[in-house]
Amino acid sequence: MEDEVEAICSELAKSIQRESNLEIVVDRLQEQIVSLQVSSSRSSRCSSDSGYASERLSEYDHRRQEIERIQRECEVEMASIRLENCAKLRDERLRRKVLEQEVDQLTQEKDQRFAQSGDLEVKRIIDKLESTCVDLRRRLSEEKVSHRNFQCLFLAVQSELQQVCEERDNFKQALIPQLCTKSENLDTNPNISISKQTQQLQERDREALRNTVSRDQRHTSRSTFAGVCPSSNAWPAGFSAIDTYQYNKGETQPTREVLAELLRDVEAQRDALHIALKNLLDRQELQSREHQRKIENLESEHHRLVYGKPPSCASRLLNYNPVSRRLARGQQ
């Protein structure tokens, strides 16, 4: 269609050009005719009325022809402008086709590059996803192992907790009452044993004094001493070394110095027994304190195992048993 329009436009331009050329030729011929008419009119100055009318008619025709010529020139110029515009339009369409081809080519290249880059990006994403899957699989296996370890640890802790609960129940049912009875026995029995030991020491002192006095009386009543050492059963065990030493020298009866020395020995033994008794009392008090501290530790451990926290000061004061009260009174 565009080719046909271009062909028609070119033929129209050629025809208009030919017409313009013909008009130029016609104009020249008319000018020649007019010049001939003017020359004839000059030769005959006297003309008729018809001659004047023909002159005006020729002038009118000349103007009309001039107008038509101008119109034809305008048409020719318009046709040339149309032809020029058609040529420009053809050139622009050719340029548009070239540009469209270039755009299509660039679009294809872009699509190819994008496809290639997309393939690379897809490969990179696939590699990344594969590495992520491997990492997640490894972490899942580690989590499974840690879960199994945690289950084993939980079972071990549960068994230990059950064992601790059993020990707690054992402490609560058997050991704590046994310790309480032992502490009470320690509070009562040492006093009894110490009083018994004190009585025995006092009896031994009195017996030693009686034996000494009776020996003195027997030796004063006897006139002579046979030189035989008395048996060791007649003297107390603490006096045997001194008596043997004196009698081996052949003395008939113990002197006042020997009796005084024996008395000092008895007093020293009595003081040693009193010191030993005091040490036993201190030791018994220390053991009572240690037993009380152990009992408090066991009670706090029992309270922690039962209630999950150590007992408060108020609960400790409420659990202040008679043994502790007796120890406090003993310290006062």
Where among 83, 98, 113 does a domain terminate? 98
Same domain, residue pair 294 and 174: yes
At 237, which helix (H) or strand (E)?
none
Same domain, residue pair 229 and 317: yes
Same domain, residue pair 174 and 288: yes
Residue 223 pLDDT: 40
Residue 49 pLDDT: 46
Residue 143 within any structural domain of the chain: no
Same domain, residue pair 190 and 327: yes
Residue 322 within any structural domain of the chain: yes
- Secondary structure of 87-126 in HEC code, one letter for each residue: HHHHHHHHHHHHHHHHHHHHHHHHHHHHHHHHHHHHHHHH
- Judged on CB neighbours under 10 Å (0-12, 13-18, 19+), 68 is exposed
Supply 134's token pair: 């491997």
Cα 172 to Cα 166, 190, 221: the distances in Å are 10, 26, 72
Where among 59, 77, 98 does a domain terminate? 98
At 231, which helix (H) or strand (E)?
none
Where among 98, 113, 137 does a domain terminate? 98
Residue 208 pLDDT: 67
**CA pair distance 323, 292, nearest whole angstrom:** 8
For every residue of 268-279, DSSP letters joined together read HHHHHHHHHHHH
Residue 122 within any structural domain of the chain: no
Same domain, residue pair 198 and 285: yes
Residues spanned by the domain of 303: 163-331
Contact assessment for residue 183 and residue 323, using Cβ atoms and an 8 Å cutoff:
yes
Contact assessment for residue 254 and residue 246, using Cβ atoms and an 8 Å cutoff:
yes
Residue 28 within any structural domain of the chain: yes
Supply 256's token pair: 């006042």
Contact assessment for residue 210 and residue 234, using Cβ atoms and an 8 Å cutoff:
no
The count of structural domains within the chain is 2
**CA pair distance 242, 260, nearest whole angstrom:** 12
CB neighbourhood size of 295 (10 A): 19
Residue 61 within any structural domain of the chain: yes
Residue 1 pLDDT: 58
Same domain, residue pair 278 and 190: yes
Residue 154 within any structural domain of the chain: no
Residue 175 within any structural domain of the chain: yes
Same domain, residue pair 72 and 211: no
**CA pair distance 114, 125, nearest whole angstrom:** 16
Q: How far is CA 220 from the centre of its chain?
A: 102
Return the DSSP state at 238: G
Closest CA to 19 of 66, 67, 69: 69
Supply 245's token pair: 């030493």
At 180, which helix (H) or strand (E)?
helix 176-221
Residue with tokens 């030796």: 219
Same domain, residue pair 182 and 302: yes
Supply 81's token pair: 């402008």
Supply 24's token pair: 């130029």
**CA pair distance 24, 16, nearest whole angstrom:** 12
Residue 271 pLDDT: 83
Residue 103 within any structural domain of the chain: no
Global pTM exceeds 0.75: no
Amino acid at 124: R
* pLDDT average per 10 residues of sequence, the chain (332 residues): 67 72 73 66 50 57 74 75 79 87 88 77 84 89 87 84 80 71 62 59 68 58 40 41 43 64 80 83 84 82 71 47 48 44
Supply 154's token pair: 């939980």
